[in-house]
Structure 1
Amino acid sequence: MPKVIWGVDSAAAVDQQLYDCVVNNFGQPDVWGRYLNTIPNVSDGLTKEEINFLKGKGVKILPIYNNFTEAIGAKAGKVAAQNALFNAKRLGVPKGVFIFANVERFFDVDPDWILGWVERMINSDYRPGIYFDPIEGPFNEAYCEAVVRNRDVFSKTVLWSAEPESGISTKRDFPTYSPAVPNCEANVWAWQYGRDAEECPIDTILVQQRLFESLY
Structure 2
Amino acid sequence: MPKYIWGVDSAQKVTQELYNCVVNNYSYPNFWGRYLTTVPNASEGLTANEIQFMKSKGIKLLPIYNDFRKATGYREGQVAARNAIFHARRLNLVEGTPIFANIERFFEVDEAWIRAWVETMYPSGYMSGFYHDPQEGSFNEAFCEAVQKNNQVKTQSILWSAEPAPGATDNKKAPTFNPKKPNCGGNVWAWQYGRDSTVCPIDTNLIDNRLFMKLA
Task: Give TM-score, length-normalised by structure 2.
Answer: 0.98
Question: 2:105: which partner in 1?
Answer: 105
Q: Secondary structure at the match of 2:124?
A: coil
Across the two proteins, how many residue pairs are aligned to each other?
Answer: 215
Indicate the percent of aligned positions where both proteins have the same amino acid: 58
Aligned partners of 2:48 and 2:29: how far apart in 1? 19
Quick check: 1:82 aligned with 2:92?
A: no
Aligned partners of 1:116 and 1:81: how far apart in 2? 8
Question: 1:37: which partner in 2?
Answer: 37
Question: 1:207: which partner in 2?
Answer: 207
User: Which stretches in structure 2 are left out of the alignment for 5+ residues?
Assistant: none
Aligned 1:49-88 pairs, distance under 5 A: 49-88=49-88
Question: 1:40 deviation in Å?
Answer: 1.5
Aligned partners of 1:88 and 1:35: how far apart in 2? 10
Aligned partners of 2:118 and 2:8: how far apart in 1? 25
Would you identify which runs of 4 or more consecutive aligned residues in structure 1 move more than 6 Å? none
Aligned partners of 2:115 and 2:40: how far apart in 1? 28
Q: Secondary structure at the match of 1:173?
A: coil
Q: Secondary structure at the match of 1:95?
A: coil
Question: 1:185 deviation in Å?
Answer: 2.7
Q: Secondary structure at the match of 1:158?
A: strand
Task: Give TM-score, length-normalised by structure 1.
Answer: 0.98
Question: 2:124: which partner in 1?
Answer: 124
CA RMSD of aligned residues (A): 0.7
Aligned partners of 1:185 and 1:164: how far apart in 2? 16
Question: 1:136: which partner in 2?
Answer: 136
Deviations 1:64-119, CA, capped at 9 Å, x for gaps: 00000000000000100000000000001001000000000000000000010000
Aligned 1:3-14 pairs, distance under 5 A: 3-14=3-14
Question: 1:183: which partner in 2?
Answer: 183
Deviations 1:30-64, CA, capped at 9 Å, x for gaps: 01000000011210000000000000000000000
Aligned partners of 2:133 and 2:33: how far apart in 1? 17
Aligned partners of 2:215 and 2:149: how far apart in 1? 28
Question: 1:187 deviation in Å?
Answer: 0.6
Amino acid at match of 2:8: V
Question: 1:24 deviation in Å?
Answer: 0.1
